[in-house]
Amino acid sequence: MDNLLERIDRLTEIGIALSAEKDTKKLLELIMMGAKTLTHADGGTLYSLKDHTLTFEIISNDTLDIQMGGSSGSEIGFEPISLYKADGKENHNMVVTHSVLTGKTINIEDAYYEQGFDFTGTRNFDSQTGYRTRSILTFPLKDHEQEIIGVLQLINAKQPETGEVIAFSAVDQQLAESLASQAAVALTQKRLIAELEKLFEAFIKLIAGAIDDKSPYTGGHCRRIPVLTMMLAESANQTNTGPMGDFSITDKDRYELETAAWLHDCGKVTTPEYVMDKATKLETIFDRIEILEQRYETVLRDHEIVYLKQCLDAQQQGADSQQLLTQYQSDCEQLRAELDFLRQINSGGEFMTDKQIDRVHAIGRRQWRDMNGRMRPILSEDEIKNLIIRRGTLNDEEREVINHHIVATIKMLDSLPFPKHLQNVPEYAGGHHEKMDGSGYPKGLTREQMSVQARIMAIADIFEALTARDRPYKPGKKLSECLRIMNEMKNNQHIDPDLFDIFVEDRVYLRYAEEFLDPEQIDVLDQAMLETCLASD
């Protein structure tokens, strides 16, 4: 009775250990070692079932000192066992397949004298190793829905005091079956968690892919940010000295940060495509510079008609038309120059000066005659408002729409019931547009109010945007220019100075560039060139 109570206590301990273990390989080993301990078995084999096939997971034998599979580091070279024969019939010749097919426990006193099963393989193994297989206990592992997920086979129960091989008792069988029930629950729980994690990861990547696919000009941004974020995070983690010497991340932290990186722009699903893809100042659904070109073509044609009429009048009056020609050519040159100027500033590639803005207003006062004969300004108020954008292609309203994506991101992520190990995802993802001096958006956070992870993502987002080759409003910048710009941002307290120093010193920028940038963008290769690009102007 004392022995039985001790074994029941041991079963309870094993059950607790099974429910706590997170690593699948260690979990399988716990099941095997627990079953052997409870039944005093000398050896055993644990199989997993998938697609009507049994795969070897763990092989253990104390007498032969064999430990294979699991975390042992020793691979199992045996081929999986099919539940069905080549002719499609069920394979009841083998004990493990029969146990799975019938769902029953099989308790054999001596394999050499048991009828109904083919023990040829067992006898061959014994003859090669000098082992003697006698008692066998085989039982299926069933999940909470009574579906079989594997099978465990124990070999040669031993009398604890003498070490003599004996048959597995009824108590051994009951304890083993009880353990099998607990083991199946633990394995099923582990499998379900893994499947949910896999589904979650696929879902967030689906969202990121949808955002990238929404805009052909930002395709790949959501896939590149996690890579760059984790590169910088690992470099910061490996830093043992300086301001970042105390920063460290665990596997849990890595998973949480990478998840945030994948979701950092999820709010862009609410951003209109015409704003995200606005390549020129006049672009909405299409580039309205084409409308201006048509207006100027109309004005040029009207000038030509006026000129030809004046020439006809001069001819009838016998007057010289040379002066008319000179004036006509001058007017046409001015019109074409205005159109070229409008085309140039429409690209948004250069900073607009006050003089250029004044010129746009002056051009806007020019009149043209529409198809109804009405005189109208050649530039509408909306066209002027967009053409005088000082930098880039977005006006104030459109910039606000773009900036709103981070507000939408935070709102979306805050609404999700993240588990404990992902509770920081909204904060990490929502802070990549904040600045260290509090001038960023949407919350105006300062460096002290932000986590290191959020500051890492801010640097990753900026560098990726500067180097990206798929934006409609600019080409991908070279490394030297990107580092100069970011060094200035560091000095102006827009990005974290300590993290940027790690970004530069550990050459995170170069490792990323070698993987994602065109070769012609990579112009910083040695320390001297690096110091040149970071030098103050």
Q: Let me know whether 122 and 88 are in one domain.
A: yes
Task: Report the 10 Å Cβ neighbour count for 109.
Answer: 13
In a domain, 103, yes or no: yes
pLDDT at 473 over 60: no
pLDDT for 285 = 74
Token digits of residue 93? 């010749």
Q: Let me know whether 305 and 450 are in one domain.
A: no
In a domain, 283, yes or no: no
Q: Let me know whether 87 and 55 are in one domain.
A: yes
Q: Let me know whether 175 and 237 are in one domain.
A: no
**Are the beta carbons of 472 and 217 closer than 8 angstroms?**
yes
For residue range 345-359, list pLDDT tens digits in order: 998 877 889 999 999
In a domain, 466, yes or no: yes
Least confident of 105-119, 267-281, 340-354, 500-514: 267-281
pLDDT at 501 over 90: yes
Measured between alpha carbons, how far is residue 327 from residues 198, 308, 322, 324, 368 in Å?
74, 12, 9, 5, 18
In a domain, 463, yes or no: yes
Q: Let me know whether 24 and 166 are in one domain.
A: yes
Task: Report the 10 Å Cβ neighbour count for 228.
Answer: 25
Q: Let me know whether 36 and 175 are in one domain.
A: yes
Domain that holds residue 147: 2-193
Q: Let me know whether 48 and 146 are in one domain.
A: yes
For residue range 115-150, list pLDDT tens digits in order: 889 999 899 999 999 999 999 999 998 887 788 988
* Residue 7: Cβ-neighbour burial (10 angstroms; 0-12, 13-18, 19+): middle
Q: Let me know whether 44 and 129 are in one domain.
A: yes
Q: Let me know whether 370 and 495 are in one domain.
A: no
In a domain, 402, yes or no: no
Among positive and negative, which fits the CA dihedral 18, 24, 25, 31?
positive
pLDDT at 536 over 60: no
pTM of the model: 0.67
Query: Which are the contacts of 110, defined by CB distance < 8 A and separation ≥ 6?
Result: 134, 135, 167
Q: Let me know whether 152 and 26 are in one domain.
A: yes
Q: What is the dihedral of CA 427, 431, 435, 438, to 10 degrees?
A: -50
Q: Let me know whether 510 and 378 are in one domain.
A: no
Number of domains, the chain: 3
pLDDT at 98 over 50: yes
- Binned at pLDDT 50, 70 and 90, residue 329 comes out as very high
pLDDT for 427 = 95
In a domain, 237, yes or no: yes
pLDDT for 509 = 95
Q: Let me know whether 257 and 297 are in one domain.
A: no
In a domain, 86, yes or no: yes
